[in-house]
Chain A
């Protein structure tokens, strides 16, 4: 749209507000407030980075998984994470974000990713618990995002959610297998549960009374539910699964609240969440360094592919141009 035929700013804002109010989707070339665009780019980029960094904690186990079956499953899962990252980077690009710039921001630590991926995975039970807790929490977060007001983000989420269910189920199945094994294996599962439970609850972000961006995101219908509501859903969903599995969730305050019809649970250590988000988690430096190294080591491949494409294009268009010139 050129300058001259552009309607006034008020009319554009009004049209945007009406689109949100009617629960319709905002599409890439629509006018949108700068705050909406920036919020979305930040959220989608962080989400994309989380998928990409999320390949690392489990990727370490691909070569160490105890059977070909488990290796194949893990490989497919980690491939999915890469795919999810790419869907999301594409969605961010529709808002005018630059792909190289997003990568640059990740490997220089200027853009964040989910705090959960800064925790280590010392045992194979961690692979199962990540699938069960972390992907379970991701599902709680992402299902409502399928109705997010920004079209490309919502559509990416539909695709992601379809695939995420496999991730959660393979994790739970892995744990069921270990729980029916030796005493040592059961202890390994419980240890992983103890280590991942609280960080998983932290994935939903700070509590509502301390989540400055939430209100605006909900007004714009980017987010549909508050952090605390999603955290509660996750707890309610997970407790019966833990009982079935035969593990104990490490929270003495966890109990069924008849009146609310939901579980009461303790407060995660939000100071820890803030520390990990700000870069001081157990594996922050390792994760970012590894991503940066992979990016730098891959530079020659990207250059070679670009050179090949250029040569190929020249071969196909070259002679015509020469003739035309002659």
Chain B
């Protein structure tokens, strides 16, 4: 469940790296982040993810990504990073007034 990008370079005692796990629930759906786990390498991450997150047919495909390989935006919701989309109401269909009697629009 790490949503990390914590600088997880592993603990001083050299434990296995942290992986973020994404599962595709069924065909036609996106992979969704389900949590995290530790594994020595990619293959073990996939096997552990199967045993940990799909014990009840929850998935048809798994991605395992090293937490340190994820680039993430700043955590603060007020970060100006997202400001560009804040004031552009004209990007939404509800911005436009169309008469009720115009069909199919």
Interface residues of A in 285-326 (CB under 8 A from B): 302, 305-306, 308-309, 312-313
Whether B98 is near chain A, meaning CB under 8 Å from some CB there, is no
* Interface pair A83/B55, CB less than 8 Å apart: yes
* Interface pair B55/A100, CB less than 8 Å apart: no
> For this complex, into which size category does the number of interface residues on chain A fall?
35 or more
Nearest Cβ on chain B to A52's Cβ, whole angstroms: 14
With most chain A CB atoms within 10 A of its CB, the pick from B1, B18, B72 is B1
Nearest Cβ on chain B to A13's Cβ, whole angstroms: 14
Whether A98 is near chain B, meaning CB under 8 Å from some CB there, is yes
Interface residues of A in 224-274 (CB under 8 A from B): none
Q: Encode B63-93 as 1/0 by CB contact (under 8 A) with A.
A: 0000000001011101000000000000000
User: How many A-B residue contacts, CB cutoff 8 Å?
Assistant: 84
Which of chain B's residues has its CB closest to A95's CB? B6
Whether A27 is near chain B, meaning CB under 8 Å from some CB there, is yes
Chain A contact surface mostly: helix
* Interface pair B3/A28, CB less than 8 Å apart: yes
Contact partner of B36 (CB less than 8 A), chosen from A27, A93, A308, is A93
Told that A152-B3, A305-B41, A306-B14 touch, could you supply 10 new A-B pairs with CB distance under 8 A?
A1-B74, A30-B75, A87-B52, A90-B1, A90-B2, A100-B11, A152-B2, A163-B55, A305-B44, A309-B16
Q: Which residues of B contact A (CB under 8 A)?
A: 1-6, 11, 13-16, 18, 35-38, 40-41, 44, 51-52, 55-56, 72, 74-76, 78
Q: Which residues of A contact B (CB under 8 A)?
A: 1, 15, 27-30, 76, 79-80, 83, 86-87, 90-91, 93-94, 96, 98-101, 151-153, 155-156, 159, 163, 302, 305-306, 308-309, 312-313
